[in-house]
Amino acid sequence: MSTTPSGAPEAVDLRQAIGIGGTPPRPDGAQKVQGSFAYASDLRAEDMLWGATLRSPHPSARIRSLDTSRARALPGVAAVLTHEDLPGRKLYGLERRDQPVLAVDEVRYQGEPIALVAADHPETARRALALIRVDFEVREPLTDPALAAFDPDQPAVHPQGNLVRHQPIRSGDVEAARRRADLVVERAEFEIGMQDQAFLGPESGMAVPDGDGGLDLYVSTQWMHHDKRQIVPVLGLPEERVRLTLSGVGGAFGGREDISVQIHMALLALATGLPVKMSYSRDESFLGHVHRHPARMRYEYGATQDGRLVYADVRIVFDGGAYTSATPGVVGIGSSLCLGPYEFPHVSVDVYGVFTNNPPCGAMRGFGGVQGCFAYESMMDRLAARVGLTPLEIRRRNAIRPGSRIANGQAVDAPQPFRSLLDEIEAIPLPAALPAVTDPRDLPGGLSGSTRAESVVRGVGYGAGMKNACFSGGDDDYSTARVVLAVADGEPTAYLHTAAAEVGQGLVTVEAQIARTELGFERVVLLPPDTSIGDSGGSSASRQTYMTGGAVRTACEAAREELFQLAARRLALSERPAGDLCVSGGKLVSRRDGVLADVLDVLGTDTVDVTREYHHRATSAVDPLTGLGDSHVQLIMCVHRAVVDVDVELGLVRVVALDAVQDVGRTINRGGLEGQIHGGSAQGLGLALMEELVVEGGKVQNASFTDYLIPTALDVPRMNLTIVEHPDPHAPYGVRGAGEAPTLSATPAIVAAVRDATGLALTRVPLRPHDIALGARSTGVRT
């Protein structure tokens, strides 16, 4: 029999009366603040072994030989595994099965797993890794994505070539429109560096043998069922012999969609018959998960003299790194959203995702939309300058509205208040003017005192982003929820079970709010998410409140009706009009006749047990040649205004204000919603000014939080938020996804503000001090 490790999740018992629209306390909030919350790295079990992974130091090499004999002989080592020890398939993958569990005869990126060790102590495991001898024939890595995309003479990273996906979009006649356009905003090149999700909780988990050939996995992940679909074929076990339970997740942002420790610790547990824990160090975490796709983007716009867009000609190249991961999806979303919330009569778009020997890239908050948003917002500001309009007016003049078509030809069929969002952001008061003498803490150099007030210039910039929600493009996206109503500990209790991953976004709070609203029960018990319940999809694509919220609502509605039917039989109630019965304060209440009975008496020893799925409305895949199709479930809009102070001598930037307006459809949890907008904005700020995983020759140069910088509380200003509610008629409660759109628009708003302060073009993010200081010096920018 398997043993549940200490630190494994338990049921969460909530007794509150706050439904949707309120802000109840998060059930995990106090524990996380106090440091008592059990994350996956806190898992412990009796006789536990420690797992570790040997990784390639080279981005491209052939493996001539592999000698593990010295590692196997080290006292305390229980197992050493290579690809020859795999019981099932040797490949896995998020969208395509092309990634080796353990390298066979070559490595394609720095950090590729080669061998596994299980030992009685983590230091013993590390010593064993150092004893493994690998004879490499090092090769010149392919690191330039443009060469990978367009130069047929480059070496092939994979036998099928270097192209992962090419998605064109063709609408109208761009060549004819180019000839007719009053003006052309010149072909501009934009670039985005490699951003990391930088979650604070490193990849961790535990695999526990059940004593009968099966496994229980306790994992920190975003999608347990999809993990299981990749794990089971490698282990060669029947599906029912592998069970996953969500362990405490210390942030995700897309970086936990791909497999990390799951398969490796499972293999070691099967080989040893003992529980095996794996937990990455910080530098290994940077090598062991995917990152945001770097992108090179070429944009050209045509317009009329009064600033109305006529055509767009766009090419984007995404660097997918060594394996497929989520690159096909990023290309698809990136192409359909690459023109943002603006109307273009004529469109020519080509988006490429390619293999290189750089680190694999996959899902990250904003998923294909962040890159294009930086480019199209930069282009809108260029167009505004050409025709003499303000940044807000050029956006109003070209804004989509209900009935408009976005880049992929899909019509906007829900309320789309883009123009009103622009009005709302303009109405937020600007901060006080830059004073002549300022406290050093309020200057770009901070307490270092490096900035002189006379070298500081202020700028204001705007950014608008449009992101889709849910898995779409023809996918039958769904989520599952189970609701059990019973009497427990002398009170009516609703047990709620889903497989949806709480990754810090507050989903457990939202699930309970929906259950209270639909059922009227004050006591809701959340059961630990695991794979014994049907799939809830991934905690990604801004979809869980929409999808799992929809599943919880549907299951609660069904459970409520069964409870009323039970009451009708038990109390011999006459037929009543729809909506007459409800539960309030533990009582069954008739809106016509008042209190009818205690819910305790209605349930008695019976239970109501229902499981339901929720599916969103149908979408379609885009045409592979034209890129046209109704591929999106929902579109989400956020607008930012940034105010920055720039030290033009040192190239330092302080964000003074980063205000936002977002249409959320309908607010379910106000506090959680504000947190999502704050968090997304902070990640956009990081991409604008500091976050880049520096890769040279295929090797990561800054795999630590000493050198990979993320915004702190000193970098993120207070934000004025305006929440707009235009319910989406296609969504449960009218909700719109909230977490990703702010990440899109924050980055271009900040860069636009720096441009406003300096007059520099600034076509690459993150902005580096020398981009500003040297550029300002060459153009003569002064305070």
With beta carbons less than 8 A apart as the criterion, state whether 108 and 50 touch.
no
Lowest mean pLDDT among 295-299, 472-476, 482-486: 472-476
Question: Domain spanning 478-615 has what CATH number?
Answer: 3.30.365.10
Question: What does pLDDT average to over the chain?
Answer: 96
Q: Which helix (H) or strand (E) holds 391?
A: helix 391-398
pLDDT at 222: 98
Strand order in the sheet with 652-663: 456-469, 634-647, 652-663, 721-724
Euclidean distance between CA atoms 547 and 479, whole angstroms: 6
Mean pLDDT computed over 66-86: 98
Asked if 259 and 179 touch (Cβ cutoff 8 Å), the reply is no
Judge whether residue 41 has pLDDT over 70.
yes
Residues 6+ apart with CB under 8 A from 568: none
CATH 3.40.225.10 given to domain 41-139+202-249+256-288: no
Q: Is pLDDT above 50 for 415? A: yes
Residue 438 predicted with pLDDT over 90: no
Q: What is the DSSP letter of 22?
A: S
461 beta partners: 642
Tens of pLDDT, residue by residue over 211-265, are 999 999 999 999 999 999 999 999 999 999 999 999 999 999 999 999 999 999 9
CATH class of 295-472+622-779: alpha beta
* Mean local confidence (pLDDT), 116-128: 98
What local confidence, expressed as pLDDT, does residue 783 receive?
43
Q: What angle do CA 698, 743, 291 make, to 5 degrees?
A: 20
Q: Which residues contact 85 (CB under 8 A, 6 or more apart)?
A: 267, 271
C-beta atoms surrounding 56 within 10 Å: 21
Q: Record the pTM.
A: 0.96
pLDDT in tens, 333-351: 999 999 999 999 999 999 9
Average pLDDT over residues 518-530: 97
Which band of pLDDT confidence, cut at 50, 70 and 90, is reported for residue 781?
Answer: low
pLDDT tens figures, 603-651:
999 999 999 999 999 999 999 999 999 999 999 999 999 999 999 999 9
Q: Residue 436, class by beta-carbon neighbours within 10 Å (0-12 exposed, 13-18 middle, 19+ buried)?
A: exposed
**HSE (side-chain half, CA atoms, 13 Å) at 41:** 15
- 133 C-beta neighbours (distance < 10 Å), count: 12
Give the residue, 13 or 662, on which the prediction is more confident: 662
* Confidence band, pLDDT 50/70/90 cuts, at residue 437: low
Q: What is the pLDDT of residue 155?
A: 97
Instruction: Decide if 383 contacts 186 (C-beta within 8 A).
Output: no
pLDDT in tens, 758-769: 999 999 999 999
Q: How far apart are CA 287 and CA 205, in angstroms?
A: 17
**Residue limits of CATH 3.30.365.10 in the chain:** 295-472+622-779, 478-615
